Structure 1
């Protein structure tokens, strides 16, 4: 027994020693959104070039020890130079700052009246760092964890969504130089890489669907349901398809604030078509000793790795699903799974991959494509499990995320179609 305890003690010492050692590994000088080559862009955004080659950051660079302890992840993708359009905001009006726990963003208004978001490619997870990690000087584990996200995964997710018939926010990779139009935000937000994409709200119909009168967020949809009752319905098939598509691309972060709704007028009724937004966690790659431990289903069940197989389907079921999809028949899930399998052929997925920058295709394309194919092929099985997990769960006993301040009746707080 003493020998066993001694062995465990030695293993713990080695583990923590390697952990702290790996945390100390990294570049001596960190850069964010570095321009490659000799492109000249002045602080005031003089329009000399239309595109620029940019490397997002080198902060995730690591040696063999760091890769072993904290994962290979997408470290090379973060440092790989890609071509981005230089965006001057002459035709935009900067409205306000936005963002979540790790993404800096600006909400801007286009000349045609559509709302857009400039979402930073580089992330700052400081708000997510637990106090215990700060005390133990383990903040780098959280910061380095961003390397599991693909910096340009949202672009590939959008191309695949087009093929799947799922709405998306049309992200475009842009470089925003410092410029007068940014005003007080110029120093903080200028000279950075962004995804310019539509907001999941607004009066302009950019979806390509006919008779859309407005795009609203989930909390606004709930309030409208309170007003309209049965005259407002969610397109359940579209939502099931969108959620099954999430399973294919491994996007585990799909809470209610990640969705908008295109309100389509049909006679005296409105049908709400789901509009997924924020694809930061599509194709989420987890490896390495520390991330594997921290994202184990017993430790953090809602953070799921993008592998060939889905090993823990429960990790994809959100309160959002229980709110909108509980009591939806299994047959609809199976039918939508079959439809996606038929639509997302190998050729179409390969074509979607070709919309990605060539550098990224060479770096991560084959690996991601093989995983996509395998998950697609097993989608009917996953769809049945997903539906059963939703049915096994109760209706909500607390408001959806983002709806905490709404004064909803208990029925509408529990589910969208509850009395």
Structure 2
């Protein structure tokens, strides 16, 4: 057994001990994060003890880990995590993700080695170095797709080739890379085609026959909140594709990169103050503050507004109740036992308590999440022609239906939803590209602010009102870009000339909302 400190300076390759192909090491992921009491008082205790405790990890043997071995092909990663892509003989891809992080890469070079850089590096201790390790068992119980990380130690292995200097002698998580044909991987839904967010959202914006399984995505998002994972921007997802009815493609979410799950930030004087200002820096406690659900989900808000727009309060309630029941005390306890025994001894009881407390809150969290999303609605079309039908659906209610216009064939309903003013203040419809039709079948209740944005193409906006109905007050505005639209509306509907923003104009512009274009 070899005791290794990851923070120690690298020795020459000749001075390093030889590690056999089936060796294990005892290694501390980040003993440099263990600081004195005064520093911890101001800058937080965080997970410093977990970073400093040595744990046992197998040494990765690239030649034998899978039949035929793995070959390193490409280095990458975010501003914090080092990644190394590996490919097997059969073409299946894996990735090594560094346990230790370095947020200073986001700083200008002249600040990285100074006080600001050292402080940012020290705050890596807000991350649980072994948090991702317990997620698969919890995700399986919750019905959420997931990667399957394994804790490994990468030695100074010649098989690393040109990546040897940068990646040797450190702890990593080894997991399947969710891309391409994953029909052999159950935790990716055995999808024959897993795609990136950029590719999927481009397809959604151009093809009305493609859709995301919204209830499955909601389940994944509630799971994020349960774990306290607040960094769920678009690139943190991959998408399993499946054939749907009538030639449609259905996408289901695969969350990846759990670096910010179980975040612990507010246990120092100064970090506590920062946490009040940066409300997205949510710490993993026994209870989720309902007033801060907005901050917890801020990074994913563009995704959530687009993908959950047609779900109702009942959908949110049903998914939350189902998850609460599936995440039993025994499921939580069993998941925690996969931790190294040293980690479990330090954090097992705390995590068991916090996960059970947060689980019981899921219905209340889902209700608050729905309330935030329902207040202001945005419904996009695609760059193909669509028909939007807007009109009353009973006293005080508003219904929006979106149809795909297909030449020589009946219109095909894409989706619909009924809104009530107790939940929703405004509804904005974006035609994007294509020659779209907006039909107002009666006047919406004046409690709703309805905005119609024509976008690209020559669109038709038409009011069908019963005799005498035009005298009723309403709050509808048609935004006309002046590119050849036909407006058959009259008072009390208002029209306004406008110059469309890039994010309102067409499918490519809509992708800007998701930082994907």
**If the length of structure 2 is used for normalisation, what is the TM-score?**
0.66
1:283 to 257, 262, 285: 262
8 Å CA contact retained: 1:45, 1:179 = no
* Secondary structure in structure 2 of the residue aligned to 1:101: coil
Distance 1:163 1:42 in 2: 47
Q: Which protein is bigger by CA-based radius of gyration?
A: 2
What is the match of residue 274 of structure 1?
253
Distance 1:65 1:210 in 2: 49
1:203 to 152, 171, 181: 181
Distance 2:273 2:117 in 1: 16
**2:288 is equivalent to residue 314 of structure 1:** no
**2:22 is equivalent to residue 68 of structure 1:** no
How far apart are residue 167 of structure 1 and its match? 1.0
8 Å CA contact retained: 2:7, 2:31 = no
1:186 to 158, 164, 170: 164
**2:464 is equivalent to residue 365 of structure 1:** no
8 Å CA contact retained: 2:184, 2:190 = no
**2:316 is equivalent to residue 323 of structure 1:** no
Distance 1:51 1:193 in 2: 12
- Please give the root-mean-square deviation of Cα atoms over the aligned residues, in Å: 2.9
Query: Over residues 26-74 of structure 1, what are the superposed CA-to-partner deviations in whole Å (9 max), with x where a residue is unaligned?
Result: xxxx952679xxxx99869763533222111211111111111111110
Distance 2:35 2:189 in 1: 49
What is the match of residue 336 of structure 1?
319
2:359 to 376, 379, 398: 376
Distance 2:100 2:107 in 1: 17
Distance 1:214 1:41 in 2: 45
What is the match of residue 305 of structure 1?
283
Distance 1:411 1:104 in 2: 31
Distance 1:387 1:290 in 2: 32
Distance 1:210 1:314 in 2: 30
Distance 2:18 2:160 in 1: 10
Distance 2:18 2:181 in 1: 30
Distance 2:189 2:46 in 1: 41
How far apart are residue 262 of structure 1 and its match? 0.7
Query: Over residues 273-325 of structure 1, what are the superposed CA-to-partner deviations in whole Å (9 max), with x where a residue is unaligned?
Result: 110000011111121012111222xx222221111222210112222212322
* Residues paired across the two proteins, number: 371
* Secondary structure in structure 1 of the residue aligned to 2:77: coil
Distance 2:189 2:326 in 1: 22
How far apart are residue 156 of structure 1 and its match? 1.3
How far apart are residue 396 of structure 1 and its match? 9.9
Q: Which one has the bigger helix percentage? A: 1
**2:145 is equivalent to residue 167 of structure 1:** yes
Change (3 A) 1:107 1:135: closer
Distance 1:41 1:51 in 2: 20
Distance 1:394 1:226 in 2: 17
**2:187 is equivalent to residue 224 of structure 1:** no
What is the match of residue 507 of structure 2?
408
8 Å CA contact retained: 1:210, 1:264 = no
How far apart are residue 205 of structure 1 and its match? 2.6
**2:369 is equivalent to residue 386 of structure 1:** yes
Change (3 A) 1:275 1:44: farther
Distance 1:200 1:84 in 2: 24
**2:76 is equivalent to residue 98 of structure 1:** yes
* Secondary structure in structure 1 of the residue aligned to 2:90: coil
Q: Which protein has greater RCO, CA pairs closer than 8 Å, 6+ apart? A: 1
* Secondary structure in structure 2 of the residue aligned to 1:89: coil
How far apart are residue 117 of structure 1 and its match? 1.1
Change (3 A) 1:67 1:309: same
How far apart are residue 223 of structure 1 and its match? 2.5
* Secondary structure in structure 1 of the residue aligned to 2:115: coil
**If the length of structure 1 is used for normalisation, what is the TM-score?**
0.81
* Secondary structure in structure 2 of the residue aligned to 1:261: strand
Distance 1:396 1:97 in 2: 39
How far apart are residue 226 of structure 1 and its match? 4.5
How far apart are residue 188 of structure 1 and its match? 1.1
Change (3 A) 1:253 1:222: same
8 Å CA contact retained: 1:102, 1:127 = yes
Q: Which one has the bigger strand percentage? A: 2
* Secondary structure in structure 1 of the residue aligned to 2:261: coil
What is the match of residue 103 of structure 2?
125
Distance 1:386 1:147 in 2: 29
How far apart are residue 131 of structure 1 and its match? 8.9
Distance 1:320 1:41 in 2: 51
* Secondary structure in structure 2 of the residue aligned to 1:328: coil
What is the match of residue 239 of structure 1?
217
Distance 2:345 2:222 in 1: 27
8 Å CA contact retained: 1:169, 1:198 = yes
